[in-house]
Structure 1
Amino acid sequence: MAITSQPSADGQELTIVIQGRFDFGAHQEFRDAYERVDRSPERYIVDLKGTSYLDSSALGMLLLLRDHAGGDHAQIRLLNCNPDVRKILAISNFEQLFKIA
């Protein structure tokens, strides 16, 4: 599992890419990906293209990111979800909290 983050050139958007299993073992690395940036971005993208699995702790980590990004006013998109990941997000009603594409 590897988590990387890349701010946009203007610093307004942060893309977080998750590879492999997204579970409790990724907790600190995921938090570091959005907390250790120079500027607070206005928008976040979580790219799940390489994510093979996520569990309830991953859902909790996404909620922590949402709180960090401004709660109800947060602009977070979850992109490139495979069918299994999308199903877990749908069962958890995350489409009401995040933009999922």
Structure 2
Amino acid sequence: MSIESEVSLDGTTLTIAIKGRFDFGSHQDFRNSYERFYKVPDTYIVNLKETTYMDSSALGMLLLLRDHAGGDEAEVRVINSSSDVRKILAISNFDKLFDIN
């Protein structure tokens, strides 16, 4: 498991890429991936292209990211999720909270 984050050149977008398992073991690395920046970006993108597994603690981590980003006013996008991960997000009604594609 690894988590990498990258800020756009203009500082408005933070992309977080999760590789491997996204579970409780990822908690601290995931938080560090967005909390270490002094300027809060306008948009957060969580790239799940290489995510092989996601559990309920990962859903909680996404909610914490959303709260950090501004709650209902936040723009958090979840991209490149596999069909299995997309099912988990849909069953959890995360499609109502996040832009998922």
For the aligned pair, the TM-score class normalised by the smaller chain equals over 0.9
Task: Structure 1: state its 5+ residue gaps.
Answer: none
CA distance in 2, matches of 1:40, 1:64: 14
**How many percent identity over aligned positions?**
65
Is 1:72 the counterpart of 2:72? The answer is yes
Find out whether 1:62 has 2:62 as its counterpart. yes
1:83 maps to what in 2?
83
Q: What's the RMSD between the two structures over aligned residues? A: 0.5
Q: Structure 1 segments of 4 or more deviating over 2 A?
A: none
Taking structure 1 as the reference length, the TM-score comes to 0.99
Which residue in the other structure is 2:22 paired with?
22
Partner of 2:42: 42
SS at 1:31's partner residue? Answer: helix
| Residues matched between the structures, number | 101
Give TM-score scaled by structure 2 length. 0.99
